[in-house]
Amino acid sequence: MVLATARLMSAEVGLVPVSPGAGAALRLLAAAGNARAVVEIGTGTGVSSLWLLAGMRPDGVLTTIDAEGEHQRLARRLFIEAGYLASRARIITGRALDVLPRLADGGYDMVFADADSREYTAFVTEAHRLLRPGGVLVLNGAWAGGRIGDPAARDPQTVGVREVIKVLRDAEEWTPALLGTGDGLLCAVRR
């Protein structure tokens, strides 16, 4: 199974991929939204990409961004092994906050980020511009490795998650919810 291979490759290169439960939730969200265009921030070796592609429309295109070109080469190979045409995935190597401003306004059904949580608030701003009304933003790692409920946890990653939770909770343009699967998926629908 290609997903098992992708998970193994993630471990080999020192990455922690989304859990199978989180992957299933991503597939469900993509399918429920009849997603044709999805942005993924953090390709890794393609574990979450494969889940997203499985939920997207057959004519859908996944735009996946990662600063690590070698990880993306592994992901591209796995997409082909899984039977996806090369045209189904647009792989962009670069820093997400440099790439996202170049993507089309209102052109996407879903944005998924599994990246540095210190940048999540900036991703929310970009996602608001990128998503069509009714589009879904999903941020992985909302439990911050179990530290989110510990008031003494003040590391930059946990603080970043707390900030983005507050931003989404207080914003009128988003309808947020937390899915408790994996390390937590913070989801929000763009109004």
Q: Which CATH architecture group holds 2-190?
A: 3-Layer(aba) Sandwich (3.40)
Band the pLDDT of 1: cuts 50, 70, 90.
confident
Which residues contact residue 151 at a Cβ distance below 8 angstroms, ignoring those fewer than 6 apart?
Answer: none
Residue type, 187: C
Q: List CB contacts of 1: < 8 A, sequence separation 6 or more.
A: none
Largest CA distance in the chain: 48
Cα 31 to Cα 120: distance, rounded to the nearest angstrom: 24
Query: Which whole number is the average pLDDT over 119-147?
Result: 97
Average pLDDT, the chain: 96
Does pTM surpass 0.85? yes
So where are the chain's domains? 2-190
The 8-class DSSP code of residue 37 comes to E
Which residue carries 């999805």 as its tokens?
Answer: 38
pLDDT average, residue stretch 94-104: 98
**How far does Cα 179 stand from its chain's mean position?**
14
